[in-house]
Amino acid sequence: MAFGGLPAGADEDTPVFVISVAAQLSGLHAQTLRAYDRQGLVSPGRTPGGGRRYSMRDIALLREVQRLSQEHGVNLAGIKRIIELENQVDALRSRVQELTEELAAAYAAAEQAAAAVHASYRKDLVPVRQETALVVWKPRRR
């Protein structure tokens, strides 16, 4: 096991904790975790046999649900909506990051294309002296 109680190679999204351990880590009763799962507040991973496996992110979410409920008096429907909105915000932030990267790549490609165009026509141009004299053009009369 790595530092922090997770197996080597596991991250905070890896479902590793059985319900009894998740209950201990979150400070909640196992029946409460089952109820939260049924209500869609916290959805742990499942084993092939159907057993629940909680990740560190799930544990943090369980603690947040408990905090919102106990300290702020938010009902479970309100907590579910808060979680949904937070997930939407996270998804939108990810999308903004993707679009920012795409825009930067497109801008770099446009800069390269413009540089290539400028480089190609510079060979075709004839240098012209720059003079400060002013030439006035008058059309010929017929």
Q: Which residue has the tokens 């369980």?
A: 62
For residue 127, give every residue at least 6 positions away whose Cβ sits within 8 Å of its Cβ, in sequence order, or none: none
User: Would you put residue 37 in left (φ > 0), alpha (ψ -120 to 50) or beta?
Assistant: alpha
Residue ranges of the domains in the chain? 10-74, 75-123
pLDDT tens digit sequence for 45-57: 999 999 999 999 9
pLDDT tens digit sequence for 48-86: 999 999 999 999 999 999 999 999 999 999 999 999 999
pTM of the model: 0.68
CATH class of residue range 10-74: mainly alpha
Contact 37, 8 (CB under 8 A): no
Range of 31-35, 125-129, 132-136 with top mean pLDDT:
31-35
